[in-house]
Amino acid sequence: MSHLLDSPLDSPIHATLAQRRDCLAKMGIHTWVRRAAYRSGTVVEADALPMPVPPPTPRLVSAEVKPMVAAQKHPSSVNPNDTSTLGWEALEHAVKHCTACPLHHTRTQGVFGVGNRTAEWLIVGEAPGEDEDRQGEPFVGRAGQLLDQMIRGMGLRREEIYIANVLKSRPPGNRTPAPLETAACLPYLQRQIELLEPRIILAAGSVAAQHLLATSLSIGVLRGRLHRYGAQRVPLVATYHPSYLLRSPSEKRKAWDDLRLAWRIFHSIPPDGQDL
Ligand code: URA
């Protein structure tokens, strides 16, 4: 018999409690679980979830959590490729063969994105690193392993998520993307978001957060609150990039708080698509 229970908000919880605890422990985060229930094997999964279910009040859009709307850059003004009418296949082809910025000279391949093209969760990173450049898939290296743990810690599976980067080509030596490069590449991500129509976006790191929100505010300022992306006002939560967390493990607790916030926001959206 399955021990997996639905959460009070009807979200299937796929990872077992032990798996989630393991993920969090690997992230360096230890959660509190009622010992008696754990010992007796009668743990109710949703009860022990480290992500508290939000109260029904729309607290998350109160004055202290200021929504921001990203100013959409016009694709054709920053990229010679007009992506606005492309479907998934044509868009992927365009990314893989893109020569819009000088990075195509040094990359192995364009890294499009990976995951379920009907996913409700979108995670956006910065740019492919060495492993991603070689394998053609985002987040397959060390940062990707931590991202996997973060995903599993939220009780989600990779198949429920779509993952993409702001930049589709690896900057040499993993340097910070140049403005010319992100300007050329952003229309691809914007079109991916249009096609995916996610219900929530998790921006991992300052490059993703700043470009999606069209702001120069630091990730320390952007994280920990609800933003909105684009005309559809898709809920967006920014958090630290997994690579940064590998370098600064003491910040993992804040990242976990951000994931919990995203989870709570996601489950506060009524199924009929009404706003919070
Ligand atoms: N870092 C990112 O931002 N994206 C990747 O795909 C890999 C590492």
Please tell me whether residue 100 adopts helix, strand or coil conformation: coil
Is the entire prediction scored with pTM above 0.85? no
Return the best residue to mutate from 111, 122, 126 for the ligand 1 pocket (most ligand atoms within 8 A of CB): 126
164 lines ligand 1 (CB under 6 A): no
125 alpha carbon – ligand 1 mean position (Å)? 5
pLDDT at residue 47 greater than cutoff 60: no
**137 pocket-lining for ligand 1 (C-beta < 6 Å):** no
Indicate if ligand 1 lies below 6 Å from the C-beta of 146. no
**Is residue 171 within 6 Å of ligand 1 at its C-beta?**
no
- The residue among 102, 162, 108, 159 whose CA lies nearest residue 133 is 108
pLDDT tens by residue, 115-127 = 999 999 999 999 9
Question: How big is the chain, counted in residues?
Answer: 276
Do 50 and 260 contact (CB within 8 A), yes or no? yes
| 58-67, 169-178, 206-215: the lowest-pLDDT one | 58-67
Query: How many whole angstroms separate alpha carbon 64 and alpha carbon 130?
Result: 40
Quick count: other Cβ atoms within 10 Å of Cβ 234?
A: 19
Assign 3-state DSSP to the chain and report helix, strand, coil percentages, each to 5.
Answer: 45, 10, 45
Burial label for 10, CB within 10 Å (0-12, 13-18, 19+), is exposed
Ligand 1 within 6 A of CB of 27: no
Q: Is the CB of 206 under 6 A from ligand 1?
A: no
Counting ligand 1 atoms within 8 A of each CB, the residue from 112, 123, 165, 207 with the most, and so the one to mutate, is: 165
40 pLDDT exceeds 60? no
List, for residues 11-36, the tens digit of each pLDDT value. 434 455 666 666 567 666 655 443 33
> Between 4 and 142, whose confidence is greater?
142
Is the CB–ligand 1 distance for residue 165 below 6 Å?
yes
What is the average pLDDT across 72-89?
66
CA distance 259 to 49: 12
CA angle (225 as vertex; 49, 269 as ends), nearest 5? 60
Cα distance between residue 42 and residue 118, in whole Å? 34
pLDDT at 248: 98
